[in-house]
Structure 1
Amino acid sequence: MYKILANTIFLGKDVHFLPDCHSTNDIALQMVRSGQVQEGAIVICGYQTKGKGQRGNSWVSEPGKNLTFSLVLKPAFLDITEQFVLNMCISNAIRKVLQDYVPYLTVKWPNDLVVPDFGKLGGILIENVISSKSWENAVVGIGLNINQLVFENEKATSLSKITGNNFDLQELFRLIITQIEQSYLQLKKGKHKEIKNDYLSHLYLKNQIASFRSENGDFSGQITGIDEQGKLLIEDETGELRTFGLKEVAFLD
């Protein structure tokens, strides 16, 4: 169904389409560890039964309606401490493509794609293979709600639900992979500052008063940015700047 991409340099030259599977990330990770695939390989599934999201959440997708795929990267040119810059790079690339259809699209830290007042459009889960010496591989799992109209989760939405249009999945796939490759090549050139600035300029709830929950209870504050490790910076109602890693803070808005 999904063909090898002709207009890319290395991404999408090895495409593995599965009508259905449990998790494209799990399959891609197995292929990486067994030496079956190289950088640029993509596993894409028509119906993913046990997709994974951040915080251990599941990703439920209606058959044949959405894009669920994983791509293999080899970011050995980055230090292990720079893992979040890859998250920003991928998030930026997908947002750039989808904002042509929903221009008010934002990125909810760390890497959910959210349309304010509508809901979550998609998410990204990066699972890394790291040795004692270097960052060997990154399997980038991407789930995007495209043509699905009914969701069990009331916080979920789709391009079709927002716009009223039906979308060509193969064409969107081509556009997204092409943009990811362009953004990844910029990352290879060391454009970290530009990538971070782009990410922050579309960060959900940045500089807005919102409600959050941490292990110490609920509080109000505003997101001011992220630190060098990608942790979220929130200035609370007392003026204290607090730092949160993954799973350490929840959005209540």
Structure 2
Amino acid sequence: MNIIKLSAIDSTNSYLKQLCSDKSVKDFTVVSASSQTHGRGQMGAKWQSQGGKNLTFSVFKDVSFLDVEQSFYISMVVSIALLKTLRLFSIKSTQIKWPNDILSEHFKIAGILIENIITGSTLKSSVIGVGLNINETIFTDLPKATSMRLISGKTYNLDEVLYVFLDELKHQFNSLEQHHYKAIKEIYLNNLFRKDKPSTFKDKNNIVFSGFIKDVTNTGNILIKVEDNIIEEYAYKEVTLLY
């Protein structure tokens, strides 16, 4: 496994994407940075992290074995790998908040940014960005954030956590390459925050409504049961779960 460690970079995803465009990159190449000046989350949101206290890294993965219509399985296996890693370090009450935030005790502990490289209509590879709060203790203006240290009171070795996650990620992708779609989706849904529970949502028009999360599609849209047992489908940024 090729791991590139940087002291500071604007974004590990941006760096790895540029690396891919310049030369051939081996599967599971990892770019890890002690500090990101412009870390990114979903839809351009910024990821805040204090230098040297957390993990901010990106992984290159060949996903040419998947159809474009199955792209959300990438997010599913990365989310599952993070859950399993956290549980191996005794971080409990962990769940996935759609589409790919990881919660512990209802607080955000990790985020995922997946950028797929598509040629024509063919899915080629993915750059998987992960931000995992490990030894951070102060989250300015982020009341819903937490870290492994805040939860357990322990200080963790960042490399140890990274290597455990990468081993788990390989295991999950191996399962995906063996086409265990049903099992993967079942694990994802069984760990999905607020699934089958009465919840409040806000749509892109700022209309608040009630419903039940029922499922996700293979491309990542969420299915919510609303009044009269109608199932509505929403893409990311079309709906917000209020909690």
Equivalent residue of 1:51, what SS?
coil
Does residue 89 of structure 1 match 2:77? yes
1:125 to 108, 113, 125: 113
Q: Is the 8 A contact 2:92 2:105 kept in 1?
A: no
Q: How big is the shift at 1:128?
A: 1.1
Tell me, in whole angstroms, the C-alpha distance in 2 between the residues paired with 1:190 and 1:202: 20
Does residue 49 of structure 1 match 2:2? no
Tell me, in whole angstroms, the C-alpha distance in 1 between the residues paired with 2:125 and 2:85: 25
1:223 paired residue number: 213
CA RMSD of aligned residues (A): 1.2
Q: How does 1:28-177 map to 2 (within 5 A)?
A: 28-100=16-88, 101-117=90-106, 119-152=107-140, 153-177=142-166
Does residue 236 of structure 1 match 2:238? no
Q: How big is the shift at 1:70?
A: 0.2
- For each residue in 1:208-241, what CA deviation from the matched residue of structure 2 results, as whole angstroms up to 9, or x when unmatched? 1111111341111111111233211111244321
**TM-score normalised by L of structure 2:** 0.95
Q: What is the aligned residue count? A: 240
Tell me, in whole angstroms, the C-alpha distance in 2 between the residues paired with 1:182 and 1:92: 10
Q: Is the 8 A contact 2:204 2:237 kept in 1?
A: no
User: Which residue identity lines up with residue 211 of structure 2 in the other structure?
Assistant: G
**TM-score normalised by L of structure 1:** 0.92
Equivalent residue of 2:184, what SS?
helix
Mark the runs of 5 or more structure 1 residues left unpaired by the alignment: 1-12
Q: Is the 8 A contact 1:43 1:71 kept in 2?
A: yes
Q: How does 1:185-224 map to 2 (within 5 A)?
A: 185-216=174-205, 217-224=207-214
- For each residue in 1:113-163, what CA deviation from the matched residue of structure 2 results, as whole angstroms up to 9, or x when unmatched? 01234x100111100111014212100000000000000111111010111
- For each residue in 1:35-83, what CA deviation from the matched residue of structure 2 results, as whole angstroms up to 9, or x when unmatched? 1522211100001111111132100100100010000011001011110
Tell me, in whole angstroms, the C-alpha distance in 2 between the residues paired with 1:104 and 1:202: 10
Mark the runs of 5 or more structure 2 residues left unpaired by the alignment: none
2:2 paired residue number: 14
Tell me, in whole angstroms, the C-alpha distance in 1 between the residues paired with 2:204 and 2:35: 36
Identity across matched positions, percent: 34
Structure 1 stretches of at least 4 aligned residues deviating more than 6 Å after TM superposition: none
Tell me, in whole angstroms, the C-alpha distance in 1 between the residues paired with 2:60 and 2:218: 24
Q: Is the 8 A contact 1:19 1:46 kept in 2?
A: yes
Q: Is the 8 A contact 2:71 2:218 kept in 1?
A: no
Does residue 246 of structure 1 match 2:243? no
User: Which residue identity lines up with residue 86 of structure 1 in the other structure?
Assistant: I
Tell me, in whole angstroms, the C-alpha distance in 1 between the residues paired with 2:80 and 2:222: 17
User: Which residue identity lines up with residue 45 of structure 2 in the other structure?
Assistant: N
For the structure 1 residues 37 and 212, does the alpha-carbon distance in structure 2 shift closer, same or farther, using more than 3 Å as the test?
Answer: same
For the structure 1 residues 133 and 243, does the alpha-carbon distance in structure 2 shift closer, same or farther, using more than 3 Å as the test?
Answer: closer
User: Which residue identity lines up with residue 190 of structure 1 in the other structure?
Assistant: H
